[in-house]
């Protein structure tokens, strides 16, 4: 049973990295399918306007708080909640897959990135079995069906599939094909390029202070200004409404 709480437009699960790993290993041992999402403020903002994305999150076996604001929200209303970052979980899960002989697949990015992924894995994780690496031509949402990629993933025997299409494409794609093969899929966004060292992440103290969005905004303002400023403003406004509503419903007591 999921231990979760609704934060505005989605149900977010409590738990940490250990819970994520446990859930994945149990499903793999039972040959069960499903997908896992790492949610941040931007994803919740999109889900508030896109019923398909909201349903994709509802269908997920886990929706973990990738963003520090979501982790702090859960901590405010219950036990302390850690941030479970998809980009940090990705290399840890690769190591677990290598040590346990779990075949993995990479879905997303481009051929150059996937080649670099195979090369790095061969050097640093020689026990990792990469049974598929697919650079799909997705198009825009709503993207067409993709029987070729689905067939290749099914035939590969992958039990753990890392989907790097970006939000909301990866969440919508995983929800559409979650029952197409007995594998656990995870939407990991930009984790491939980060793992390769092609893109930098801010220092840990910046992430803990909920300022990673500002770090990324300064790196690519023309592409990200609307995403972060609009989504963050939406979250702050609605979070304040929820807090004040709870305050008055409690009779003005903190």
Is 10 part of any domain?
yes
Q: Are residues 225 and 163 in the same domain?
A: no
CA–CA separation, 93 and 168 (whole Å) = 22
CA–CA separation, 172 and 57 (whole Å) = 9
| Residue 38: CATH number of its domain | 3.40.50
pLDDT at 240: 80
Q: Are residues 109 and 61 in the same domain?
A: yes
Q: Are residues 181 and 236 in the same domain?
A: no
Q: Cβ distance 181 to 159 under 8 Å? A: no
Query: Could you write out the DSSP letters of every residue in 120-189?
Result: HHHHH-TT--EEEEE-----SSSPPP-HHHHHHHHHHT-SEEEEES-TTHHHHHHHHHTTSSS-EEEE-T
Q: Are residues 141 and 236 in the same domain?
A: no
Q: What are the tokens at 150?
A: 């689905």
Q: Are residues 190 and 210 in the same domain?
A: no
User: How many domains in the chain?
Assistant: 2
Is 254 part of any domain?
no
Task: Write down the residue that tokens 């029987």 correspond to.
Answer: 147
Collapsed DSSP state (helix, strand, coil) of residue 108: strand
Q: Cβ distance 86 to 191 under 8 Å? A: yes
> What is the pTM for the complete model shown?
0.88
Q: Cβ distance 27 to 184 under 8 Å? A: yes
- From first to last of its 254 residues, the chain has per-residue pLDDT tens of 568 899 999 999 999 999 999 999 999 999 999 999 999 999 999 999 999 999 999 999 999 999 889 999 999 888 889 999 999 999 999 999 999 999 999 999 999 999 999 999 999 999 999 999 999 887 777 676 778 899 999 999 999 999 999 999 999 999 999 989 999 999 999 999 999 999 877 667 656 666 666 666 566 666 666 677 788 788 888 878 776 665 334 444 44
Provide the domain limits for residue 215.
206-249
Q: Which of 186, 179, 3 is nearest to 96 (CA)?
A: 186
Q: Are residues 179 and 238 in the same domain?
A: no
Q: Are residues 144 and 242 in the same domain?
A: no
Q: Are residues 33 and 47 in the same domain?
A: yes
Q: Are residues 116 and 53 in the same domain?
A: yes
Q: Are residues 211 and 86 in the same domain?
A: no
Q: Are residues 233 and 124 in the same domain?
A: no
Is 99 part of any domain?
yes
Q: Are residues 94 and 115 in the same domain?
A: yes
| CA distance to 13, 39, 69, 75, 250, per residue, from 78 (Å) | 12, 18, 14, 5, 17
Q: What are the tokens at 25?
A: 């290993």
H or E, element range at 110: none
């Amino acid at each position: 049973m999921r231990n979760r709480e609704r934060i505005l437009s989605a149900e977010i699960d409590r738990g940490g990295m250990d819970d994520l790993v446990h859930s994945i290993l149990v499903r793999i041992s039972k040959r069960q399918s499903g997908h896992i999402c790492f949610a941040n403020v931007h994803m919740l903002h999109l889900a508030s306007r896109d019923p398909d994305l909201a349903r994709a999150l509802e269908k997920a076996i886990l929706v973990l708080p990738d963003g520090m604001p979501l982790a702090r929200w859960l901590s405010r209303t219950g036990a302390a909640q850690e941030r479970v970052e998809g980009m940090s979980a990705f290399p840890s899960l690769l190591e677990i897959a290598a040590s346990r002989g779990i075949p993995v697949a990479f879905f997303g990015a481009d051929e150059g990135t996937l080649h670099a992924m195979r090369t790095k894995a061969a050097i640093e994780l020689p026990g990792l079995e990469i049974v598929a690496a697919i650079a799909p031509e997705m198009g825009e949402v709503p993207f067409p069906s993709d029987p070729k990629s689905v067939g290749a993933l099914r035939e590969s025997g992958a039990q753990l599939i890392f989907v790097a299409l970006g939000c909301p494409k990866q969440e919508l794609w995983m929800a559409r094909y979650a029952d197409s093969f007995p594998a656990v899929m995870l939407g990991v966004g930009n984790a491939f390029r980060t793992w390769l060292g092609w893109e930098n992440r801010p220092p840990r103290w910046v992430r803990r202070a909920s300022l990673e969005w500002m770090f990324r905004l300064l790196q690519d303002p023309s592409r990200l200004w609307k995403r972060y400023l609009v989504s963050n403003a939406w979250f702050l406004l609605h979070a304040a409404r929820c807090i004040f509503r709870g305050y008055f419903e409690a009779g003005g007591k903190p």
